[in-house]
Amino acid sequence: MARVTVEDCLTNVDNRFELVMLATKRARQIAVQGAEPLVAEENDKPTVLALREIAENLVTPTTMAAQEEAARAEQY
């Protein structure tokens, strides 16, 4: 996938606001927390990687919520 469009991502996310929040969280995981991208990096920035993952339905609000819950449980 050369370019990621909002429309590509909105097929997997309910609205633009949720898309922005989901992409932000995933991009931070990749950039700051060192999470491995689920797509080929192709010299892309973390934000683009996050959007590509969302467009390919590899990251969804449900999977992100499950990851956050697991991380919280790990802390305690």
Question: What is the reported pLDDT for 3?
Answer: 85
Phi, psi dihedrals of residue 72, rounded to the nearest 5°: -65, -40
Q: Interhelix angle for 16-31 vs 61-75, to 10°?
A: 50
| pLDDT above 80: residue 1 | no
| pLDDT above 60: residue 26 | yes
Question: What is the reported pLDDT for 2?
Answer: 66
Burial class, 39, CB count within 10 angstroms (exposed 0-12 / middle 13-18 / buried 19+): middle
- Look at 8-12, 20-24, 71-75 and tell me which has the smallest mean pLDDT: 71-75
CB-side neighbour CA atoms (13 Å) of 1: 18
CATH of domain 6-75: 3.90.940.10
| pLDDT above 90: residue 75 | no
Matching residue, tokens 């689920």 = 38
